[in-house]
Amino acid sequence: MPKLSSAYEPSSSTTTLTAPPHIHALLTRLHTLSLTQEKALESIDFTSSPACYEATSYQIDSVFNTLMSDKFVALEQDKCLFVYNLIRASRAKTVLEIGTSYGVSTIYLALGVTQNYPEGGGRVIGTELEGEKAKKARLYWDEAGEEVSGVIELREGDLRETLKVDLPDEIDFLLLDVWGVAFSAFELVKSKLKKGAVIVTDNTAGERGLAYYKDLLPVLRDPNGPFRSVLLPFQGGMEMSVYSP
C-alpha cells in the first residue's frame, strides 16, 4: 500500500522561479500546508486495526485513498521547480496534467507556459476527480492572478471520460501524478504527443513505483519502444521520458 514520507521543505527562494511576490507567498503557504498534512499522516498505521487483518491490499488501499481524498498530496516543491524549468527549457506550449488535486503544481505549469508565450496561446489542461479539490484549486489560481488562471482549463470528473473529447492537436508536456488510472489516461492521450514531448511521472522508484505504474512503466522503459526514459533521484523517484518515435 502507499507509504507517505516527509516532503521537501518549502522555500521562498526566488532563484529558480520567475513570479511576482504574491505567487511566491501563495506557493510557500500551499507547500507548507501539504507538508503539514503529510507529516500528520505518517503516524497512521492503516493495517493495525483487527478489521485489516483479513483485508486484501486492495481494500486497504481503498481506505487509504478515501482518507486522502481531501488531502493536498501536492507535488514536492523541488519537483515542481524542476518541472517548471523543464517547461521553460523545452518551450512547451500545451501541457496536460493528470492528477491536479488542489492545483499547486498546476501553478508552476501555468507560469512556465505563460512565460514561454507571453503573447498568448499557451494552455494547461488539468484533471481532477474530486469536486471540492477542483473548487479550491480554482480559488488558488484566482489568487495567483490572470498569469496563472488565464491559461488553465480544468476538466472535473473521471478523466477516463473527460479526456475522450476535445484534446489539443499536439501535447508538448505531460505530467502524470495520479494513482490507478495513469495508464488509462496515457492511452487516451498518447496519440496527441508531439515528437519530442516530455512525459514526467511521479513516484516511480522501487517496488512501489512498479506497483503504481505496472502497465505504464514497461511502455516508457521499453528499449525498443518510442520513449527514452531516465529515473531521476528525487524523493520517491521521478521518471522523465521523451517521446522519440
State the pLDDT at residue 6: 41
In this predicted model, what pLDDT tens digit does every residue of 182-229 receive, in sequence order? 999 999 999 999 999 999 999 999 888 888 899 999 999 999 999 999
Question: Structural domains in the chain?
Answer: 21-70 (no CATH), 77-243 (3.40.50.150)
Confidence at residue 199, expressed as pLDDT on a 0 to 100 scale: 98
Under a CB-based contact definition with an 8 Å cutoff, are residues 197 and 174 in contact? yes
pLDDT of residue 55: 35
pLDDT of 160 > 70? The answer is: yes
Q: How confident is the model at residue 180 (pLDDT cuts 50, 70, 90)?
A: confident
pLDDT for the residue 36: 79
* CB 117, CB 147: distance < 8 Å: no
Q: What is the pLDDT of residue 1?
A: 31
Q: What angle do CA 227, 229, 230 make, to 5 degrees?
A: 175
35 pLDDT band, cuts 50/70/90, is: confident
Query: Tens digits of per-residue pLDDT, 228-239?
Result: 999 999 999 999
Amino acid at 178: V
Residue 81 zone, left/alpha/beta (φ > 0; ψ -120 to 50; rest): alpha
pLDDT given at position 11? 53
User: Which pTM does this prediction carry?
Assistant: 0.84
Most confident of 41-55, 72-86, 134-148, 198-212: 134-148
Q: How confident is the model at residue 15 (pLDDT cuts 50, 70, 90)?
A: low
Is the pLDDT at 53 greater than 50, yes or no? no
Percent with pLDDT over 90 in the chain: 72
pLDDT at 179: 79
* Section 23-37 average pLDDT: 89
pLDDT tens string 97-153:
999 999 999 999 999 999 999 999 999 999 999 999 999 999 999 999 999 999 999
**Distance of alpha carbon 46 from alpha carbon 43, whole angstroms:** 10
End-to-end CA distance of the chain: 35
Higher local confidence (pLDDT), 184 or 1? 184
